[in-house]
Amino acid sequence: MTSCGWLWLYAGAGLMLAELLAPGFVVFFFGLSAASVGLCRFAFGEALTPTWQLAAFSAFSVLYLLFLRRWLKRVFMGTVTTSATDFEDDMVGRFAKVTAAIAPPKTGRVMVGDAEWTASAAAPIAVGADVKVVARDNLTVRVEPV
Q: What is the pLDDT of residues 97-135, one digit of tens each?
A: 999 999 999 999 999 999 999 999 999 999 999 999 999
Residues 58 and 35 placed together within one structural domain of the fold = yes
Degrees, nearest 5: CA angle 130-107-109: 45
**Cis omega (within 30 of 0) on the bond before 105?**
yes
d(CA 81, CA 126): 44
Residue 145 — pLDDT band, cuts 50, 70, 90?
very high
pLDDT tens track for 4-54: 899 999 999 999 999 888 877 889 999 999 999 999 999 998 888 999 999
pLDDT at 81 over 70: no
d(CA 3, CA 80): 46
Residues 18 and 67 placed together within one structural domain of the fold = yes
Residues 56 and 108 placed together within one structural domain of the fold = no
| Domain span at 118 | 91-145
Residues 95 and 57 placed together within one structural domain of the fold = no
Pairing of strands 140-145, 130-137: antiparallel
